Chains A and B, each alone.
Chain A
């Protein structure tokens, strides 16, 4: 077990139970690095998750307080937690199904309110734990279990959605960008407001097998890397490009949601006492 895992995680949950070549365990290690570099302790962070690959593989790994919500509801639960314990950091680690499909309304409203949590959306571009159906982030045209002729629906970019809704920190990265991801997560944790970090990672078992025709981890990571560069290994243009990096940084520019509520309560109380 590595030093960070020993420091922050539950030994019984290590190593990760994810499929071979899955990016979830690796990304969680990067989250630990960011937490560690900020000097945060186990008791400073509450870890929440949902359902699906990301929910199941990260659930109860965190050594401190943590929760697993129903599918899509992690942010709704986190809203109550943050109100009750505003001084904690909240790391809400969910997948594309939780964040961009069944729980999108919570995502949008948490961003609109500037709820002080960090959402890590680990996106394997489909519902991989149920066999690899397409999700709202599956690239258009790609073959999945439920789109044998290619994904006919246009996908959306969750970063655009949360930025439009009012998120104060928005960034995109992938499982091929270790140092960039750590730097981004550190910045996200320093925003007293809604931070959203979108991390694409490979699924060898389903997305790789159906959409890319391979279960080879190296090849699937390479496919992701090519799409961060807009260029394939042979120098030809990729079919699309993911712009990675910090997309919007208005950290600490407007009041955090639970602070607004506490301030209102204080004002109302002061007014009532003055009467």
Chain B
């Protein structure tokens, strides 16, 4: 069905996050899909196999003997000039780590979604964000979605960002395993023409690829200064990806009639005394908690990180400036800092501000544990209390203390 003025260029269907990702990939016309099954991303690749079996997707599909081979095959296809896609979760992502670093170091613009999950040990297949946190410094761009619509939109953005000649970096599109991968929502599916127009700026012929006419070497062995040059240029490209993510939104709006939103979503921040920071689907509950508390006069707002790497430091610092306190919600654990991973980034960002404010970290939702609205309302109240000078632990484990 079409929804008229609301989503002029989109067909709205009910689908889960894995399916939304599959629709986005279909519309981006990939040449190669490489896969190894792992929960909870498997239905995404099943849907792509289905599209191919129906004759809608003209791509080679290869089911390989492990995740490392899946990403490596995708890297090979992209290096040869194609557009490739793969997806994984948790230990699958860990098992492809050397290929993960190779892809970013060689600036291979592959797109991979991650239906995020906890890591073992102990063994679990439950939802969490630990897997993407384990690879966050791997030199990829990481986008984190809050809804099924945003999964679809982020994959379109991912190819546009990855293949941009000024960026040329691999991109992860991350979404909470089970909560988003298996939750159905209405999703606007854009037309093929709109996606083609959006991606017209990138694609084959617009970046260096292997060819017999003009031979190139990939994966060179380098030392010292040349190595430093690789790293310097990689860092510069990450920052250009951040800039492009902000400026792309106009292009996205023009193509699809709705915003993607850029690196951070600012929710009810205009008059907020305290700011919460989070990423992923738990932010949906956090928004409800904020709405609820605002009825009681608590002026809280949310900065939802949509682009986690490169980290949108300047924009977050602007949103943090002048708040009485900042609370950070993490669904992962940073062992080395005795806190969550996002909290470490927020603390580092706070150093950019002239005035310090109390910071507090809430860790919850590990291995699929519920983060209920009441827990988050308590978290907001705790943040408010810290802003008023009340003492308390820097890290609060939701549901554990």
A145 interfacial contact with B, CB 8 Å? yes
A-B contact pairs, 12 of them (CB 8 A): A71-B91, A101-B66, A102-B66, A102-B67, A104-B65, A130-B42, A131-B43, A133-B42, A133-B46, A136-B65, A146-B37, A146-B45
A72 interfacial contact with B, CB 8 Å? yes
Q: Let me know if A130 and B50 touch, CB within 8 A.
A: no
Q: Let me know if B46 and A146 touch, CB within 8 A.
A: yes
B100 interfacial contact with A, CB 8 Å? no
Q: Let me know if A146 and B49 touch, CB within 8 A.
A: yes
Interface hits, A55-84 → B, CB 8 Å:
59, 68, 70-72
In the assembly, what is the distance between CA of A146 and CA of B42, in Å?
10
Task: Given the known inter-chain contacts A70-B91, A104-B65, A134-B63, please indicate yes or no for A148 contacting B53, CB distance below 8 A.
Answer: yes
Task: Given the known inter-chain contacts A133-B42, A146-B49, please indicate yes or no for A71 contacting B95, CB distance below 8 A.
Answer: yes
Q: Let me know if A131 and B123 touch, CB within 8 A.
A: no
Q: Which A residues are CB-close (under 8 A) to B35?
A: 146
Q: Which of B39, B65, B120 contacts A130 (CB 8 A)?
A: B39
Q: Which A residues are CB-close (under 8 A) to B120?
A: 70
Interface hits, B1-57 → A, CB 8 Å:
35-39, 42-43, 45-46, 49-50, 53
Residue of A nearest to B43 (CB): A131
Chain A 41-67 interface mask (CB, 8 Å, partner B; 1/0):
000000000010000000100000000
Q: Which of B63, B95, B123 contacts A146 (CB 8 A)?
A: B63
Q: Let me know if B123 and A145 touch, CB within 8 A.
A: no
In the assembly, what is the distance between CA of A54 and CA of B166, in Å?
47
Task: Given the known inter-chain contacts A70-B91, A104-B65, please indicate yes or no for A148 contacting B50, CB distance below 8 A.
Answer: yes
Question: B95 → chain A, closest Cβ, in Å?
Answer: 7
Q: Which A residues are CB-close (under 8 A) to B95?
A: 70-71, 102
Interface hits, B91-117 → A, CB 8 Å:
91, 95
Question: B96 → chain A, closest Cβ, in Å?
Answer: 11
Question: A129 → chain B, closest Cβ, in Å?
Answer: 8
Q: Which A residues are CB-close (under 8 A) to B38?
A: 130
Question: B63 → chain A, closest Cβ, in Å?
Answer: 5
Q: Let me know if B65 and A102 touch, CB within 8 A.
A: yes
Interface hits, B53-74 → A, CB 8 Å:
53, 61, 63, 65-67
Q: Which B residues are CB-close (under 8 A) to A149?
A: 53
A127 interfacial contact with B, CB 8 Å? yes
Q: Let me know if A127 and B37 touch, CB within 8 A.
A: yes
The 3 closest A-B pairs by CB, nearest first: A130-B37, A102-B66, A148-B53
Q: Let me know if A148 and B37 touch, CB within 8 A.
A: no
Known: A129-B39, A131-B43. 19 other contacts (CB 8 A): A51-B91, A68-B123, A70-B91, A101-B36, A101-B65, A101-B66, A102-B65, A102-B67, A102-B95, A130-B37, A131-B46, A133-B37, A146-B37, A146-B45, A146-B46, A146-B49, A148-B50, A148-B53, A149-B53
Category for how many chain A residues contact B? 20 to 34
Residue of B nearest to A52 (CB): B37
In the assembly, what is the distance between CA of A99 and CA of B95, in Å?
16
Question: A97 → chain B, closest Cβ, in Å?
Answer: 8
Q: Which B residues are CB-close (under 8 A) to A136?
A: 65
Q: Which of B36, B53, B61, B123 contacts A102 (CB 8 A)?
A: B36
Interface hits, A240-267 → B, CB 8 Å:
none
Q: Which A residues are CB-close (under 8 A) to B49?
A: 145-146, 148
Residue of B nearest to A133 (CB): B37
Chain A 145-159 interface mask (CB, 8 Å, partner B; 1/0):
110110000000000
Q: Which B residues are CB-close (under 8 A) to A102?
A: 36, 65-67, 95
Residue of A nearest to B38 (CB): A130
Q: Which B residues are CB-close (under 8 A) to A134?
A: 63
Question: A184 → chain B, closest Cβ, in Å?
Answer: 27
Q: Which B residues are CB-close (under 8 A) to A104?
A: 65
Q: Which A residues are CB-close (under 8 A) to B36?
A: 101-102
Question: B268 → chain A, closest Cβ, in Å?
Answer: 40
In the assembly, what is the distance between CA of A68 and CA of B67, in Å?
19
Q: Let me know if B66 and A133 touch, CB within 8 A.
A: no
Task: Given the known inter-chain contacts A130-B42, A133-B42, A146-B49, please indicate yes or no for A72 contacting B66, CB distance below 8 A.
Answer: yes
Q: Which A residues are CB-close (under 8 A) to B46?
A: 131, 133, 145-146
Q: Let me know if A131 and B42 touch, CB within 8 A.
A: yes
In the assembly, what is the distance between CA of A101 and CA of B37, in Å?
12
In the assembly, what is the distance between CA of A146 and CA of B37, in Å?
10
In the assembly, what is the distance between CA of A72 and CA of B95, in Å?
11
In the assembly, what is the distance between CA of A145 and CA of B43, in Å?
10
Q: Report which residue of A51, A59, A104 has the largest number of chain B beta carbons within 10 angstroms of its beta carbon.
A: A51
In the assembly, what is the distance between CA of A127 and CA of B91, in Å?
16
In the assembly, what is the distance between CA of A130 and CA of B45, in Å?
11
Question: A186 → chain B, closest Cβ, in Å?
Answer: 31
Question: A15 → chain B, closest Cβ, in Å?
Answer: 21
Q: Which B residues are CB-close (under 8 A) to A51?
A: 91, 123
Q: Which A residues are CB-close (under 8 A) to B39?
A: 129-130
Question: A123 → chain B, closest Cβ, in Å?
Answer: 15
Q: Which B residues are CB-close (under 8 A) to A70?
A: 91, 95, 120
Question: A127 → chain B, closest Cβ, in Å?
Answer: 5
In the assembly, what is the distance between CA of A133 and CA of B91, in Å?
18
In the assembly, what is the distance between CA of A76 and CA of B50, in Å?
36
Residue of A nearest to B68 (CB): A102
Residue of B nearest to A151 (CB): B63
Q: Let me know if B65 and A133 touch, CB within 8 A.
A: no
Q: Which B residues are CB-close (under 8 A) to A130?
A: 37-39, 42
